[in-house]
Amino acid sequence: MENKPKEPLIHITKRKALRWTAAWRIRLFAIVISLLLCALITMITTGLNPVQVYVTMFQGAFGSARRMWILGKDIAILLCISLALTPAFRMRFWNLGGEGQILIGALATASCMILLGDKVPGWFLILLSVIAALAAGAFWAMVPAACKALWNTNETLFTLMMNYVATQLVAYFVIVWEVPKGSGKIGIINQNTEAGWLPVIAGNKYLLNILCVAILTIGMYIYLNYSKHGYEISVVGESVATARYVGINVSWTIIRTLLISGAICGLTGFLLVAGTDHTLTTTLAGGQGFTAVMVAWLAKFNPLGMVLSSFLLVFLGKGAGEIATIYGLNQSYGDILTGIILFFIIGSEFFINYRIHFRGEHKEDKPAAAQPAAPASVTHASESGASAAHASENETTATEKREDTADV
């Protein structure tokens, strides 16, 4: 007898699509486990009360009205960048140039504020600034998009390298416009006149940014899920060959989508310069162009889900900074806790998409209507009985035929 290969101890199968409630239960369970692990690490390494550490993290984000507004502003900016990258990601165009597109939009905004601040009315200056920022960001994204559509270049490397070009352009103009000379920075643009600054609503300079991004989130959700362009983006992302077969102009879809993506990144630069920071630096985006990639991925490229993932990342960042300040810990310690929590959240996606089976466990449940197979011995006996019956019947027929012949 041949020995059958031994079944592996663990095997993995693809899950059927889970309901969103089940998927979020898995994510919440992962968050709870990560918090318990962080608490254990905190007790062992620092001797601090982990509950008090978590309370401090919460206070870092919600400890005062000002902190809550800053939290909302940071969420809005990160969400805006994520919304910009989402159309390209749905099309499987990996746009890693969000950082550069933000800086170019910010540079265009600062240019309008510095060069036209005392030449045109304030409302018209804001209008010119936003148009310039949208156009600059769209152009910066169109260059790699056109190269991808025409010559099939690698969009990941192309968009990534353009970040460095944008950073050096901003660095050059910061030196050109530096105030005072030799300081290496621009300072607050139009500080005395506030020309080009977005208006303050209800006594808060962050509220307008938050409202703009909220409207943009709803608009992007409708655009991607209920418009013809959104359908074309999804088809191109699934299969370029299928898109061409059904008559979609793939090259134009790529360029159009990246124009939208770059324009929204440019709008982010406008909101930073004209809305909150009122200055221009090479670190204005603060690496959020790359953080937004994680935000979009965690939310499965769903604009509404990005609200939650943006909140989570910003909250963890604020909390990490707060515990480093209050307890005199290195900033890296807070980043370690943040990394552990994110690791569990990202890892939970594996259990949402796949299922682990152990040896002896059935991969799939059998249908209720299916009847168990008969044992081999029973089957063999049945077959033997049927053969014997068939032979007896043939013998009887032959005997009857002989008797008839004899009568004749």
Helix (H) or strand (E) holding 265: helix 250-270
Q: What is the pLDDT of residue 172?
A: 96
CB 73 within 8 A of CB 286: no
Which pLDDT value is given to residue 381?
A: 40
Tell me the per-residue pLDDT of 124-173, one tens digit each, with 9 for 90 and over. 999 999 999 999 999 999 999 999 999 999 999 999 999 999 999 999 99
Residue 361 has what pLDDT?
Answer: 67
- Higher per-residue pLDDT: 349 or 167: 167
- What is the H or E stretch that residue 358 is in? strand 354-358
Report phi then psi at 13, rounded to 5: -130, 155
pLDDT, one tens digit per residue, over 84-139 is 999 999 999 999 999 999 999 999 999 999 999 999 999 999 999 999 999 999 99
Confidence at residue 91, expressed as pLDDT on a 0 to 100 scale = 94
Asked if pLDDT for residue 27 goes beyond 80, the answer is yes
Taking the chain, what is the end-to-end CA distance rounded to the nearest angstrom? 59
CA 201/CA 221 separation, integer angstroms = 26
The pLDDT-based confidence of 213 (bands split at 50, 70, 90) is very high
Residue 396 confidence (pLDDT) above 70:
no
Distance between CA 306 and CA 143 in Å, rounded? 27
Share above pLDDT 70 across residues of the chain, in percent, rounded to a whole number: 87
Identify which of 297, 352, 362 has the alpha carbon closest to the alpha carbon of residue 15.
Answer: 352
Is residue 14 predicted with pLDDT exceeding 50? yes
For 54-74, write each residue's pLDDT tens digit: 999 999 999 999 999 999 999
- If one counts every other C-beta atom within 10 angstroms of the C-beta of residue 169, the result is 16
Please calculate the CA angle 168-263-287 and round it to the nearest 5 degrees: 45
| DSSP result, 3-65 | PPPPPPSEEEEEPPPPPHHHHHHHHHHHHHHHHHHHHHHHHHHH---HHHHHHHHHHHHHSSH
* pLDDT, position 407: 39
Taking Cα atoms as reference points, which of 56, 128, 83, 102 lies closest to residue 222? 83
| pLDDT at position 239 over 50 | yes
- Weakest mean pLDDT among 152-156, 292-296, 309-313, 368-372: 368-372
Q: Which of 190-199, 256-265, 381-390 has the lowest mean pLDDT?
A: 381-390
pLDDT in tens, 285-299: 999 999 999 999 988
- The H or E element spanning position 355 is strand 354-358
Average pLDDT, rounded, for the chain: 87
Q: 38-47, 88-97, 208-217, 362-371: which range is least confident on average?
A: 362-371
> By mean pLDDT, which of 48-52, 216-220, 262-266, 334-338 is the weakest?
334-338
Query: Percent of the chain having pLDDT more than 90?
Result: 65
The three-class DSSP label of residue 334 is: helix
The reported pLDDT for the residue numbered 371 is 43
Q: Long-range contact list for 389-394, CB < 8 A, 24+ apart?
A: none
- Residue identified by tokens 């552990």 is 340
**Residue 388 pLDDT:** 44
